[in-house]
Structures are given as structure tokens and as C-alpha cells.
Amino acid sequence: MPLMKTRANRSLAAALLVLAVTAALAGGPRLLTPSWEPKAPDYRRHGPAGAMAVIAAFSDFQCPSCAAAAPHLKSIQALYPDKVAVVFKHRAWDFHQHSRQAAIFSECAGKAGKFWEYHDKLFDTQSTWAVLPSSAASLPLLTGYAKELGLDPKAIEACAADPATDALVAADLKEADEKWVNSTPTFLIGGKRFVGTNQLRTTGLNRVEDLLKK
């Protein structure tokens, strides 16, 4: 009988040890990994610096679902203008012929102080430039949109040709891969992921409101 008890105790101790190690392994990365804060140039951030809720929006200018989600982002900010900020993150897909070029031009508009205006223009006119047969064909339109916003077309084109501008887009694409952003639009809000317009305006909005209660 004592031998049986000893074996039972050992089995119980071993089981508890396995559970403890499993829990430590599961929780360890969370403890070691700092909470993620979306980084982007100031011109790609819209909202107060000390926002209680920050929405990182991974988006592609040629993505129809991203265009559909844009007004809902504005609606959420309109509800809480002093408490919610949006940070735009590029997720330009390779299978979208014009998306990277559009992202680069948006960066140039941003450097000239017109990122969000250019952002809106690209989504509003998506059905025009996104269907053109080549990047060369869309170039005059992308330059023209900048001119409509009062920007110098030649300066915008020079900026677009600068490898440093493309590097800004590439950095976001790398981060999107690291965050497993496999669909657009994807919104990261307070450590939680929401994909598409429906999730943004329902559970995403709920998440924002929960953050504002803290």
C-alpha cells in the first residue's frame, strides 16, 4: 500500500509539473513581448496624441473592402473625436497592380501635408484608377489627384521615384507579415484583431468603447 501511494503521488506531481510548464510556456511570450503600438509617420495618424483607443488600420488603396470600411472609421472617430485615433498602415497586395504605386503616392502627399485628403481621394476614385491596364496608365491620374489638392506634381513625382519613399511602404508590409495580417482591411484595436467592415462597426466598436471605459 505505501508503494502504491508513493507511485500515485509521483504521478500526481509529474502531472502538476507538466501543467505548470505548459502554462509557463503559454504565458511566457506574452510576458516577454511588449504591447504593440502602431508606428507610422505623424501624417498617417489622425486623432489626438493621447488617444484612449488607437485603431491600427491595415489597408490597401486598391481593395474595394478597404474603401467600404473607410467611412465607418470616420464614423467611429466622429463619435469620440477627442478619444480615438486612427493610424494608417499599408498592406498593399502584390496581386493588386496599382496598390503599391498608390501607397507610394500617398506617402508623398503625406510628406506634403495632405495624406488624409489624398487617402480619401484614392478611395473615392478607386473605380477609375484601379481598373487601368498598367501603372504607366494610372500615373497621370495619381499625379493629377495631387495637383487637385494643391500639391506640386513635379515634386510629388520626384518623391515617388525616391527609393526612401518605397522603403516606408515596405516597412509596413514587413510589419503586416509579422502581425499575420492576411486580409484587408484588418484593424488592430487594443491588442485585438477585427477583419472587415462588419467586424469594425460591431465588435470593433465594442472594443473601442471598452477601452474608453478604462
**Residue among 96, 79, 121 at smallest CA distance from 212:** 79
Q: Where are the domains positioned within the chain? A: 1-33, 42-213
Q: What is the pLDDT of residues 55-103, one digit of tens each?
A: 999 999 999 999 999 999 999 999 999 999 999 999 999 999 999 999 9
Residue 197 and residue 185 in contact, taking contact as beta carbons nearer than 8 Å: yes
Q: How far is CA 22 from CA 14, 16, 32, 50, in A?
A: 12, 10, 16, 38
* C-alpha distances out from residue 130 to 67, 70, 99, 125, Å: 12, 17, 8, 8
**DSSP one-letter code for 36:** P
Let me know the angle formed at the C-alpha of 68 by 63 and 73, rounded to the nearest 5 degrees.
110
Strand partners, 59: 90
Instruction: Note the CATH architecture for domain 42-213.
Output: 3-Layer(aba) Sandwich (3.40)
Q: How far apart are CA 107 and CA 89, in angstroms?
A: 11
Structure pTM? Answer: 0.82
* Chain segment 139-169, per-residue pLDDT in tens: 999 999 999 999 999 999 999 999 999 999 9
